[in-house]
Amino acid sequence: MRILVVNPNTTEEMTEAIGAAARHYASPGTEIIPLTARFGAAGIDSNFESLLSAVAVMDLVSGYQGPFDAVVLAGFGEHGREGMQEIVDVPVFDIAECSAHVAQLIGRSYSVVTTLHRSIAAIEDRLTVAGLSARCASVRAAGLSTLDIERYPERAAERILEQARLAVHQDRAEVLCLGCAGMTGLDEKITTELGVPVVDGIGAAVGLAEAVVGMGLRTSKVCTYARPEPNQLTGWPITARVERSGRAS
């Protein structure tokens, strides 16, 4: 089984960490292929950056050469999952949705701890669209950007643990979800401190991808996720068109 794990931002170091986490959770025989968006933002903390990343991720996967069995979108609730499901036949997994699905299997309520306060609404919207918001106790922010999580891991761990504690004691969360791919690896620390299960979105997505692919299931193309009409697309994929232009010149 080959799983594309796509980092929607342009930070290679974050891609390496995401790839390492995915391999940690993957079963023997599963090949993890980490990919980095070719254009966009170094860290995604706004709607503009998220929408831009959606185009970058779809462009990246559209131009990928080689077979793959599933796609994991390693942006927590970023835009683009529905579009990706239209352009590929294999199952597509958003780490925010996968985290919430797994959390609801092991507890009555869950909370998400994310990066900035402005990211709360985007995550709430993603969970609502996915039908996963009813048992979400809260979405809390650590007050650090995506890049801050990468640059200041000790400070980030303290802030995330602080909000996780409030989610458990004030919001009555029974399970916690790490609301950023850059938080991977903090699950054991928080579980040790608070005694509650913590879901790493990368692990949840890889595990669900293996299960769904193992059952022989693919994305339905009957209606909602049918492929776009190719004769309506101009200059797509973007990168392939730019590369062709460069060679021609």
What is the reported pLDDT for 230? 81
The pTM of this model reads 0.93
Q: Where are the domains of the chain?
A: 2-94+204-241, 96-201
Decide if pLDDT at 113 tops 80: yes
What pLDDT, in 10s, does the model give residues 153-197?
A: 999 999 999 999 999 999 999 999 999 999 999 999 999 999 999
What pLDDT, in 10s, does the model give residues 145-156?
A: 999 999 999 999
The CATH class given to the 2-94+204-241 domain equals alpha beta
Instruction: Write the single-letter amino acid at 205.
Output: A
Decide if pLDDT at 133 tops 70: yes
| Nearest CA-CA partner of 176 in 112, 99, 108, 107 | 112
CATH number for 96-201: choose from 3.40.250.10, 1.10.10.60, 3.40.50.12500, 3.40.50.300. 3.40.50.12500
Q: How far apart are CA 199 and CA 188, in angstroms?
A: 10
Element (H, E) at 206: helix 201-214
Q: In what order do the strands lie in the sheet containing 70-73?
A: 31-36, 2-7, 70-73, 92-94
Q: Do domains 2-94+204-241 and 96-201 have the same CATH topology?
A: yes
The residue-averaged pLDDT of 28-35 equals 98
Instruction: Write the single-letter amino acid at 123.
Output: I
What average pLDDT does the structure give for the chain? Answer: 94
Q: Are 41 and 108 in contact (CB under 8 A)?
A: no
